[in-house]
Amino acid sequence: MTTPRTWTGHVFIATSVDGYIARPDGGLDWLTDGPAPDGDGGYSEFTAAIDHLLMGRGTYETVAAFDPWPYSRMRVVVLSSTLSTDDDRVTVVRSLDDAVDFLTDAGAERVYVDGGRVITSCLAAGLIDDLVITRVPVLLGAGLPLFGALPADVRLESLAAAPIGGGMVQERYTVVR
Amino acid sequence: MTTPRTWTGHVFIATSVDGYIARPDGGLDWLTDGPAPDGDGGYSEFTAAIDHLLMGRGTYETVAAFDPWPYSRMRVVVLSSTLSTDDDRVTVVRSLDDAVDFLTDAGAERVYVDGGRVITSCLAAGLIDDLVITRVPVLLGAGLPLFGALPADVRLESLAAAPIGGGMVQERYTVVR
């Protein structure tokens, strides 16, 4: 990264109380089959200010089948060293450095970063500015973790925490530099 | 467990936002060296209603050196298959079944369950009734996890979530049976 970053990175994600974003097989029943939050839990307000979405291959393979495609209002960048696709709704980049360069060249302003592995990589690289974490009231005991290993502590500042309906709790944090 | 349980099980614990209760070496600097919560974060109110404390060997070895001993108002039970001690402040039990029998025979009413492995074992065995989880605003990336593997989902009900000062957020849950 030689060019100054033009954009900020934002996380908006739901996890179990024990920190999983999906079951080991990717299953989301624990998220979708229970009580829903009030409205959409703030998702449309969050995405209204987003221009680009950066996700990993795992997330892409889950959402590729969604009909209609849920990301019409933002440009979608998929980070994968192996994915080959003719899906013209997305741009594939091969490394995090390439993603940063692409987003910066594209004049991105607010980037939604999604998926546990990509979120952790971006946290490690100092590319995340704030996080909205919605805790779903269940302990799964196993699954795909929201957070992984980091090279150093990432200090946060807690902005808010409140119930949002459906038994869910939403926490808002900014990353302290 | 053939005798009906006379007591309820309660968790009151602090974790990083990524779910660790200590660094890989047991370090708690991230918890103790930052801003403190208002008052004691509700700990004395919580413990005022507790008569027994069940902890694992790891937690015991951390707290054994504390001077003064912080648990004068409750009976401490240490769950360990190997610990040998002449510390007459604690009772050692060799298995979770033995812990349950001991607590029931002792007429325990409200049991504070502490330590990640013991909390997870008790959750798996249906021995936890509610949890107070205080999130400290840092991502550690590695450490001793609060929650481990479970034989099945544990459904929770969210009672409250609110900032408690020091950048910490406190969540309260009951276990749904």
Mean pLDDT for A87-109 is: 96
Is B2 inside any structural domain? no
Interface test with chain A among B139, B168, B169, B177, by most A beta carbons within 10 Å: B139
Give per-residue pLDDT as tens, B18-43.
999 999 999 999 999 988 999 999 99
pLDDT at A2 over 60: no
- Between chains, do B153 and A160 touch, taking CB under 8 Å as contact? no
Torsion-angle region of residue A74: left (phi > 0), alpha (psi -120 to 50) or beta?
beta
Q: Which of B91, B134, B136, B81 is nearest to B111 (CA)?
A: B91
> How far, in Å, CA of A51 to CA of B56, rounded?
49
Tokens 């910066």, residue located = A104
Does residue B3 sit within a domain? no
Residues of B engaging A, defined by a Cβ cutoff of 8 Å: 17-19, 30, 123, 133, 135, 137-142, 146-158, 160-163, 167-169, 171, 173
CATH of the domain at B73: 3.40.430.10
- Among the partner-chain residues A30, A140, A157, the one whose CB lies closest to the CB of B167 is A157
pLDDT of B1 strictly over 70:
no
Q: Is B40 helix (H, G, I), strand (E, B) or coil?
A: coil
Q: What is the spatial distance between Cα B57 and Cα B21, in angstroms, rounded to a whole number?
A: 15
Q: DSSP string covering A58-115, please?
A: HHHHHHTT-SS-TTTTSEEEEE-SS-----TTEEEESSHHHHHHHHHHTT--EEEEES
Strands (E), B7-129: 8-16, 20-22, 52-56, 75-79, 90-93, 110-114
- Reported as a single tens digit per residue, the pLDDT across A133-172 is 999 999 999 999 999 999 999 999 999 999 999 999 999 9
Say how many Å lie between the first and final Cα of chain B, rounded.
18
Q: Is residue A1 part of a domain?
A: no
> Which of helix, strand or coil describes residue A11?
strand
Q: Is A2 within a domain?
A: no
State both tokens at A90: 């997305």
Q: Which residues does residue B172 pair with via DSSP β-bridges, in sequence order?
A: B132, B160
- The pLDDT tens digits for B66-120 are 999 999 899 999 999 999 999 999 999 999 999 999 999 999 999 999 999 999 9
Q: Please report which confidence band the pLDDT of residue B2 belongs to, taking 50, 70 and 90 as the band edges.
A: low
Residue A68 has pLDDT above 80, yes or no: yes
Query: Would residue A19 count as lying in a domain?
Result: yes
DSSP string spanning B106-174? TT--EEEEESHHHHHHHHHTT---EEEEEEESEE-SSSEES----SS-EEEEEEEEEEEETTEEEEEEE
Using DSSP, state whether A142 is helix, strand or coil. coil
If interface means Cβ-Cβ distance under 8 Å, which residues of chain A face chain B?
17-19, 30, 123, 133, 135, 137-142, 146-158, 160-163, 167-169, 171, 173
User: What's the mean pLDDT when you consider all of chain A?
Assistant: 95
Q: Has residue B120 been placed in a domain?
A: yes
Domain span holding position A34: 8-175
**B83 vs B93: CA distance, rounded Å:** 9
For chain B, what percent of residues have pLDDT higher than 70? 98
Residue B176, in any domain of the structure: no
Average pLDDT over residues B133-144: 98
- Whether A84 shows a pLDDT value over 70: the answer reads yes
Out of A137, A146, A156, whose CB is closest to B173?
A137
Question: How far apart are the CA of B41 and the nearest CA of chain A, in angstroms?
Answer: 15
For residues A126 and A8, the answer to whether their CB atoms sit within 8 Å is: no
Amino acid at position B34, single letter? G
Closest CA to B152 of A23, A30, A24, A140: A140
Total domain count for chain B? 1
Q: Do B140 and A150 touch (CB under 8 A)?
A: yes
pLDDT at B45: 95
Task: Measure CB to CB from residue B137 to each of A148, A167, A173 and give the nearest one.
Answer: A173
The yes-or-no verdict on residue B55 having pLDDT over 80 is yes
pTM: 0.94
Is B49 inside any structural domain? yes
Average pLDDT over residues A30-58: 94
